[in-house]
Each structure stands twice: as structure tokens, then as C-alpha cells.
Amino acid sequence: MSPEQIDWVIDAYTRGIVADEQMSALAMAILLNGMNRAEIARWTAAMIASGERMNFDSLSRPTADKHSTGGVGDKITLPLAPLVAACGAAVPQLSGRGLGHTGGTLDKLESIPGWRALLSNEEMLNVLDTTGAVICAAGDGLAPADKKLYALRDVTGTVEAIPLIASSIMSKKIAEGTGSLVLDVKVGSGAFMKNIEDARELASTMVALGTDSGVKTIALLTDMSTPLGLTAGNALEVRESVEVLAGGGPADVVELTIALAQEMLTAAGIKDADPAKALADGSAMDVWRRMISAQGGDPDAALPVAREQHVVTASASGVLTRLDAYAVGVGAWRLGAGRARKEDPVQAGAGIELHAKPGDTVTAGQPLMTLHTDTPEKFDYALASLEGCYDVAPAGTAFTANPIVLDRIA
């Protein structure tokens, strides 16, 4: 496609001149045939041009943002944004909601009483200026072409087209106005990219788009074969994130949070900060409390707890060698933590709490996971998704976990 053709079709579709049926045919052609780098770059630029662009030049510190392609138990944004802010960068984090088996950052934070996801541009800039970090929903004026095209892709079987994934993510992030961007591209059963070759292609495409637009962009490929941390669900993940900010929390969540923080700070030109120290000394927690309060939330309020629980026990004794992220994600979704359609409500307290991870020794009959929901009739539906989701090998079996960071692309 020529640059002029791309500009025309994105503008015409946004204004309703090109019908959904016509655009869905083009989206399918892109899925089947791909696009070259110049086409993807122009497609992304046209989607950016369909709306407004934000500007953070008035801030006294450099900006750095992070985007995850989505996973199970992926609560990293919650401790990461205040951590990076505590180390000297400003973090304008525009986030989304969950759909299907992947959780959404805004759904998680909305389990905090009073917290608001919807901010005007002026409110967003004020929170960012006063606290150093803001996590909120993207406004309607930011890349409206992408919002319309995303909804179409969702119902036409074209979500998985790498050019369309990359341009969707990067059009919003470039229009957001951040100076640097770190991408967390998930790989494995619980991710949209199931194998590392597809993940590497997606990451390389997004890094190129960011670089071509003047945004310093780095991507980490990270493992999503096993859930991150010990929780999958909205309030459950907020609780775990607060544990990380308090200097505790699961080792894998802490490791990835610090790795991404270091990349964000380096990309922003801040080279002498120590994210691990900012977690240990409470400065990241201080930013979290200010950020939550600035958006109407009460950081001291009790988080919602589901009314019903069901415990799943280990079927054998030995070493837990596999715990499938996708199955756990679907289980949490079916319990009420996620949604099948964008307009569906979610339960704040629903989800799955894990009591063991691969590499741990388990005993037959011990609790392996606890299911949480307000609607106990959902237990059977969730348990069906968890059937066969884990393996237990004989005691003494050697186990080597996948590294969390699989590759780096810059």
C-alpha cells in the first residue's frame, strides 16, 4: 500500500466512510499477507494522526513508560510505576482492562475503594507532576482509529496479526508522548505469543516503530508459561503488589519489577538509581500511597474479599514441575475476575491464589490453590479449566525453572 492509500483508509474508516465490512476485509488481508516496515510505520502514524498527541515537556523529569502484552498474574505495573518514579523518572502509564484470560491493570486498581481510572488530560498531568506517576485509562481523543479498529479485529478473527498488534500498541504509546518506552513481551501458554519466534518478531516490529518515531524503545521477552507471583485476580493482585512495595512479595514478581525498572531508568537517562534500594527503604511505597490518593483512592482501605472459597489439593506427592498459566488465567476469568466482552462487569475479589509454584515440593492432599468468587456456582466451570493444569514428578526429580527474562531487543 502507498502512504497515501494508508492515510486515506485510516482517516475514512475513522470518519465512517469506509464500512466495517470493507475494513474487516483489509484487516484479514493484512493478517494473511503481512506488511513491510514502511507500511507498518505509516499505518501507525496514520492512527496517531486520527487524534491528539500529549506532551510532557512541562515536567521537570524525563518520562518513561512500560507496556506489557498481557499475561496471568501480571501485576507488574502496580509496583513498577511508583518504583520508577521514586528513582527520579516520571511515569505516564496509560493502561487497559482485561479481556478473556489476561487481567487488566485498571480492573485491579478499581478494587481499591474510591480509585478513579478516568482522568482528564489536565488531571493526568497534575497527578504526574505532583506524585511522579499516574496509572489511568487512555482518553477518547488518543488514537481513536485504533479504538475503532481494535473492536473490529476482536470480532473478525484478526487480533493475532502482528502488524496490527504492533501498530495498535505503539500508536497509543507514541501519541501518549513518553520520551522512552520499555516493552514487556510475554511468551508462553498464558501469553498471546505462544512461541519465542513470534514474540521476537512482534518485539522487533514495535522497537522499530518506536525508534522511527523518536521514542527510545527497548523490549524484554519474558516467560509466561507459569503465572507471575502467587495470585491471579484483581484485589488479590493489588494485595500482592503492596507486599512487593513493602519489601516482600514473590521472588519472580520482585525480579521482573526490578529488571523493568532498571531498563526504564536507563532509557530515561537516569543511570545512578537503585530500584532494589527504593523498594527496601519504603520510598516506592510512599509514591504508591500518594498516587492512589491523588486519584481518589484510599491506600489504607480494606480490599474486597470474595464471599466463597474452594481449595484445590495436590493429587500426588513429589516436585511440582508444571503449572500452566493459561489454565489458571481461564480459571480466574471464569470465577469472575475477567470478562468475555468489554462491557461485562468483574468481581473485585474473584481469582486464584497459588500455594505452590514449579520447583516446590508438595504432598498429596496439601492445598495447591484456593479459588475465590462471590458466585459459588462458578466453581465447577473454573475447575474444568484447571483439569490437568499441573504435573507432579517423583520426589528428588531435578527441576530447572525458565529464566524470567528470555531475551532483550533494542
Residues 141, 363: Cα–Cα separation, whole Å: 54
Close Cβ partners of 220 (under 8 Å, ≥ 6 residues apart): 182, 183, 184, 185, 259, 260, 263, 405, 407, 408, 409
List b or e across 392-409, with b for residues whose CB sees 16 or more CB atoms inside 10 angstroms.
beeeeeeeeeeebbbeeb
Instruction: Decide if 172 is catalytic.
Output: yes
Phi, psi of 142 (to 5 degrees): -95, 115
Which residue, 126, 166, 149, 112, is CA-closest to 11? 149
Instruction: Indicate the burial class of 271 (C-beta count within 10 angstroms; 0-12, 13-18, 19 or more).
Output: exposed
Residues 59, 45: Cα–Cα separation, whole Å: 25
* Of 97, 148, 172, 334, catalytic: 172
Residues 249, 229: Cα–Cα separation, whole Å: 8
Output the nine-digit C-alpha cell for 409.
531487543
Instruction: Decide if 67 is catalytic.
Output: yes
Residues 232, 329: Cα–Cα separation, whole Å: 7
* Of 50, 168, 171, 180, catalytic: 168
CB atoms within 10 A of CB 148: 18
Phi, psi of 233 (to 5 degrees): 150, 165
- List the alpha helices (DSSP H) in 74-232: 77-86, 105-109, 121-131, 144-156, 162-176, 196-212
Close Cβ partners of 271 (under 8 Å, ≥ 6 residues apart): 265
Instruction: Decide if 272 is catalytic.
Output: no
Close Cβ partners of 238 (under 8 Å, ≥ 6 residues apart): 75, 78, 108, 109, 111, 112, 303
* Of 67, 75, 173, 289, catalytic: 67
Instruction: Decide if 385 is catalytic.
Output: no
* Of 74, 107, 146, 324, catalytic: 146
Spell out the SS3 assignment of 329-372. Answer: HHHHHHHHHCCCCCCCCCCCCCEEEECCCCCCEECCCCEEEEEE
List b or e across 13-29, with b for residues whose CB sees 16 or more CB atoms inside 10 angstroms.
bbeeebebeebbeebee
* Of 153, 173, 186, 289, catalytic: 153
Instruction: Decide if 307 is catalytic.
Output: no
Write out the H or E segment, with its range, that includes residue 45. Answer: helix 37-49
CB atoms within 10 A of CB 274: 14
**Residues annotated as catalytic (active site), given as ranges:** 67, 146, 153, 168, 172
